[in-house]
Amino acid sequence: MLKEAMEWISEKTGNVIEFDLNGEKYTNREIYKVEKSRRKELTVTTLTGLVDYIKSAFDGKEEYIVSVLSHHKVAVESKLNANKRREFVIVSNAQLPAVNLNSFMDLEQFNIQLQSVFVPSDERAKVLSLIGNIRAENVMQTGDNGISQQVEVKRGVASKAKEEVPNPVYLKPFRTFTEISQPESAFVLRLREGGSIGLQAALYEADGGAWKNQAILSIKEYLEEELKEQQNRITILA
């Protein structure tokens, strides 16, 4: 047992022998390249912070690749190092509010969400007006033919009228960095009866995720404009 252990130690710690066989190089042991240490990337939550870092040349005027990885994440990468790998220098992850889509909620929550995490617009105002004027006694008078819906709303002091629920609606939730214009996309607005809860509303995404590509291109355009004086040392990819 001791002899076998000593032989194992000798095998693992002995000299590495390199030899040629049929024009190929071989060794008597598996060896590994010692990699150089890698920097720890900085993290920010805005595009402004990322731009300021690049402009400052705080760590020297290195050449960078700026990669727009998604609608909410941008990474600055170094050139290939001695190990033929790139390092993340700084990464920006947008801090985004929670937006409840593709599921129903009561009208009060729906109203609050529209006002707090959607960019003001005429379309948003139209939806808020409709939702805000539906009364509990009108719930049972909701009509639905499978495509369009109608609800009875209160207009004025005593008058009531049936109104068609607008579809699709074009809205701008906060879904990307605030330095750029929030992408507008189509939503299907649906209402349903929620039993004891009352009427519920939901917004369903209806653009197949095209808004994400729009956001990525807008981020790229923003960075190109803000970093135009640094174009000799950066490459922006999206």
**Domains parsed from the chain with CATH numbers:** 42-95+216-237 (3.30.720), 105-206 (no CATH)
Q: Which pLDDT tens digit goes with each residue over 105-154?
A: 999 999 999 999 999 999 999 999 988 888 655 544 455 566 677 777 76
Higher pLDDT, 9 or 11: 11
Helices then strands, each counted (H, E), the chain: 5, 14
pLDDT at 210: 96
Q: Which pLDDT tens digit goes with each residue over 155-210?
A: 655 566 777 888 899 999 999 999 999 999 999 999 888 777 778 999 999 999 99
Residue 41: half-sphere exposure toward Cβ, Cα within 13 Å: 16
> Between β-strands 88-93 and 42-44, what pairing exists: parallel, antiparallel or unpaired?
parallel
- Give the whole-angstrom CA distance, residue 29 versus residue 210: 53
pLDDT at 99: 95
pTM for the full model? Answer: 0.78
Q: Which amino acid would we find at residue 204?
A: Y
pLDDT at 139: 45
- Give the whole-angstrom CA distance, residue 140 versus residue 180: 43
Tokens encoding 191: 């209402």
Q: In what order do the strands lie in the sheet with 159-164?
A: 143-144, 149-155, 159-164
Q: Which pLDDT tens digit goes with each residue over 54-80?
A: 999 888 888 999 999 999 999 999 888
pLDDT at 155: 63
| Residues in Cβ contact with 80 at an 8 Å cutoff, skipping those fewer than 6 apart | 86
Tokens encoding 189: 């607005």
